[in-house]
Amino acid sequence: MRTFVRIITTGFILASWVFVDAASGLSLDVVVKETLENNPEILAAENKWEAAKAKVPQVRWWDDPQLGVSFEKIPQGSYSLGAAKMRMLSISQIIPFPGKLTLKGRMAQSEVMIAKEEYEAKKQELTARVKSAYYRLFLVYKSIEIEKEQRDLLRKFSKIAETKYAVGQAAQHDVLKAQVELSLLADDLITLQQEDLPTAEAKLNDILNRPPHSPLGVPEEFTVPKLEKNRKEIEEFALKYRQTLKAIGYGVEKSMAAYKLAKMEYLPDFGIKFMRTEMETAMNTETTGGVMLSINIPLWFWKKGYGVSEKRAQKRSAEASYQAMRNMVLFEVQNALAKFNTTERRVNLFQTSIIPQAEQTLKAATVAYETGKVDFLTLMNSERMLRDTKLKYYKILMDHATNFANLERVVGVRLTK
């Protein structure tokens, strides 16, 4: 009896596992969250940002001081440093002209902000990519579902044709045509299940940093948000938040600091040196100290001039790059917005008109065929039209969702609350 109870209990547990696994869906929010946490491209960009932050305090400090020891007045023929009659210990430090280290710090800080914006841009890019892969996987599953639904419908039509053929109300080619249509559907299912599905899963797993064959589950249904902002507002958002544009803007700031630093190369740096000298005399050892101040002379001024010209040209190049990127951002917004508006109208058209009309056409053709008012070819054409309409609708829905994700990437910020 106890053995029987254990078997029953184990069976219920296993059944519950199977049920949970089969019923478990793939959430878009979970997929996006996992991408932002585990994708190696994002991790690489984040570490590049951390490396840039660590550089700032390095460039704001002086170079290391130099410690020197000299031995002089060594008797001729002696190779011992201990025989030197005069020994000097010194320590020296180069001090850059005031303002140079500040400018170097600004340049390094600009690099930090560039790396930060590149990191944020990579997050936006990967978010759009993983959403696109998710929608692609959703489309494959929906296509399989539609093909199976139409297969069941064709089997029903095939039985109707066989019944009518048996009583002499239909020709044999109606039965054969139904069988051919079923075979073609089977071929479509093979392609979807054996090629399209594994490819879509591998693509999504790649972005998630998982092995290609890792199980994912069935993507959940989703809704594409309505766009509540007009074109002008979206353009303003893009110019304000687009990370790539902001990164180039920080590049302009860096080039301006580099240009100012190049002009400061005409100004000298300072040196200070502290010395302690011990000199042996016939009577005793004399110990003295000293300080030496020095400056470097920027004598080769034409070299400095070329450096200034170089940085001036780089600054102008950065400013031109910013303007070019600004124009590109506005174009990308216009392009992405046009695609989104187009697919939005097409989705609405399919939902409100085309699909209901195709379904009504098939229902009417089914009744008409059963009563002998239309031939089997008309029925098959109606079935095929409904199937193609549904497949096309979900393809447009996938494009619409992808277009919205791309629009958010182009703007650089979420467009929904």
pLDDT tens for residues 176-214?
Answer: 888 888 999 999 999 999 999 999 999 999 999 999 999
Give the pair of three-digit tokens for residue 357.
Answer: 């009309």
What is the C-alpha separation between 215 and 365, in angstroms, rounded? 42
Q: What is the pLDDT of residues 255-305, one digit of tens each?
A: 999 999 999 999 999 999 999 988 877 678 788 888 999 998 888 778 889
What is the per-residue pLDDT for 228? Answer: 87
pLDDT at 31 over 90: yes
By the 10 Å C-beta count (0-12 exposed, 13-18 middle, 19+ buried), 200 is classed as buried
* Comparison of pLDDT for 42 and 377, the residue scoring more: 42
Domain 24-65+97-268+302-411 class, CATH top level: mainly alpha
User: What mean pLDDT comes out for the span 318-335?
Assistant: 98
Supply the mean pLDDT for the chain: 89
User: What mean pLDDT comes out for the span 42-46?
Assistant: 96
Q: What is the pLDDT of residues 386-417, one digit of tens each?
A: 999 999 999 999 999 999 999 999 999 999 87
Give the strand pairing for 270-280 and 86-95: antiparallel
Give the pair of three-digit tokens for residue 100.
Answer: 């140079």
| Cβ-Cβ contacts under 8 Å for 149 (sequence gap 6 or more) | none
What is the per-residue pLDDT for 169? Answer: 72
Given the structure tokens 């039965």, which residue do they identify?
A: 175
Winning range, highest mean pLDDT, from 51-55, 170-174, 372-376: 51-55
pLDDT at 103 over 90: yes
Confidence of residue 24 (pLDDT cuts 50, 70, 90): low
What is the C-alpha separation between 363 and 365, in angstroms, rounded? 5
What is the C-alpha separation between 27 and 21, in angstroms, rounded? 14
Confidence of residue 19 (pLDDT cuts 50, 70, 90): very low
CA nearest to 128, candidates 396, 402, 330, 337: 402
Give the pair of three-digit tokens for residue 296.
Answer: 């470097």
The reported pTM is 0.84
